[in-house]
């Protein structure tokens, strides 16, 4: 599945969770698909064959930041979409984001206001990433 298709699927989920309903076609027509591609590729960029962000926590932070920075969305759901993607990336690495909702909201608001540099965001994610708890 192409990165844009994955983004659309997750963004539709974020819209639904925010009690906004939109068709896939409508969403595709209202967002910049090139910006989506750039945001989705950012955590996995390489220099001389090496990942710039090799750690999954770094990748989650950069992915969230680029979604918020580059992909304005209907009903302002870019932050919840970014959080869903960060959660997916962390869970794929056996991690979860462990922070109160108010703190996550404050950090993601700072991203959207361009008040938090990438290195600070990565440090925050690193402090807040924990091993997933196994369910028994």
C-beta of residue 67 within 8 angstroms of C-beta of residue 81: yes
Fold of 3-131: 1.20.120
User: Exposed (0-12), middle (13-18) or buried (19+): which is 99, by Cβ within 10 Å?
Assistant: middle
Q: Which two tokens stand for residue 27?
A: 């969403």
CA–CA separation, 27 and 74 (whole Å): 8
pTM for this predicted structure: 0.91
CA–CA separation, 3 and 6 (whole Å): 5
Residue-wise pLDDT tens digits, 40-58: 999 999 999 999 999 999 9
Q: What is the pLDDT of residue 33?
A: 96
Q: What is the pLDDT of residue 71?
A: 94
């Amino acid at each position: 599945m192409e990165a844009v298709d994955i983004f659309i699927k997750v963004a539709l989920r974020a819209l639904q969770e925010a009690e906004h309903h939109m068709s896939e076609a409508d969403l595709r027509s209202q967002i910049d698909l090139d910006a989506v591609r750039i945001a989705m590729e950012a955590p996995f960029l390489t220099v001389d064959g090496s990942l710039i962000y090799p750690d999954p926590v770094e990748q989650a932070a950069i992915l969230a930041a680029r979604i918020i920075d580059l992909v304005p969305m209907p009903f302002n759901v870019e932050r919840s979409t970014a959080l869903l993607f960060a959660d997916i990336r962390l869970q794929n690495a056996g991690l979860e984001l462990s922070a109160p909702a108010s703190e996550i909201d404050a950090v993601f608001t700072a991203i959207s206001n361009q008040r938090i540099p990438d290195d600070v965001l990565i440090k925050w994610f690193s402090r807040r990433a924990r091993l997933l708890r196994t369910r028994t």
